Structure 1
């Protein structure tokens, strides 16, 4: 319990009830608390967690040699490896989002230069998935 005297004779009694898990997309946590017995909640930026968070590179849509994630999801499978020659329409990655599988296909042909994701990784829409030479 925290007591804050805002002016002489006026005291706020604050009780923190719970703090949510980090919302990765926003870097926020929701804090649930009571002020003088009334339930409240607010979202707070967690600056310490944001520092530890790795920012995944985004696809540059002006570059045809980059393939991005069409939506947020978890990487279920990576169908290619670095050095592979792929054709337009080849499956590069399989994502799972909201119990649905989404196949990410190559939009051009080329040689796989770098794979930017791994199986089990959570990614956001427009995150860079594969780079071609």
Structure 2
């Protein structure tokens, strides 16, 4: 099977493993046969497999209350405001881009989900915003 060469205190040893069954190994050391009984059976190590649990609940899309008079646009993620594409008094329709938010080196366009008029802008370009921080108000 396998052959090994050892040197202990300037003495050379050639070890040949003849057989391995359960916890008993038959080997030959410099021509002499030995039967060695191991304390435990030699087990092959396995690479562990990483198993991730599924998310407890799926991510919810941003919802706008259609009956409320004021609509609050909040930061969906923490980031830095790169540009503001609207000003107070602008009338927007659904899908119009309001601002660009940079998070983790990615630019995220924040678009209008309910038509209305801008009543307040609570942020400025270059400002860092936290998750759920108020950015724009619509009416």
| Cα deviation 1:12-65 (Å, max 9, x = unaligned) | xxxxxxxxxxxxxxxxxxxxxxxxxxxxxxxxxxxxxxxxxxxxxxxxx75561
1:111 aligns with 2:135: no
Looking at CA atoms only, which structure, 1 or 2, has the larger radius of gyration? 2
Match of 1:28 in 2: none
Match of 1:84 in 2: 90
1:65 aligns with 2:71: yes
Higher share of residues assigned helix: 1
| Cα deviation 1:66-100 (Å, max 9, x = unaligned) | 11111000000000000000011111110111110
CA distance in 2, matches of 1:89, 1:125: 22
Equivalent runs, 1:36-75 vs 2, <5 Å: 63=68, 65-75=71-81
Checking the alignment, whether the CA contact within 8 Å between 1:67 and 1:107 is kept in structure 2 is no
TM-score by length of 1: 0.52
- Considering only aligned residues, what root-mean-square deviation do their CA atoms show, in Å? 1.5
CA distance in 1, matches of 2:137, 2:113: 11
CA distance in 1, matches of 2:77, 2:99: 12
Match of 1:93 in 2: 99
| Superposed displacement of residue 121, structure 1 | 0.3
Match of 2:48 in 1: none
Instruction: List runs of 5+ in structure 1 lacking aligned partners.
Output: 1-60
TM-score by length of 2: 0.49
CA distance in 2, matches of 1:107, 1:129: 14
Aligned residue pair count: 73
Q: Which runs of 4+ in 1 moved over 6 A?
A: none
| Superposed displacement of residue 104, structure 1 | 0.7
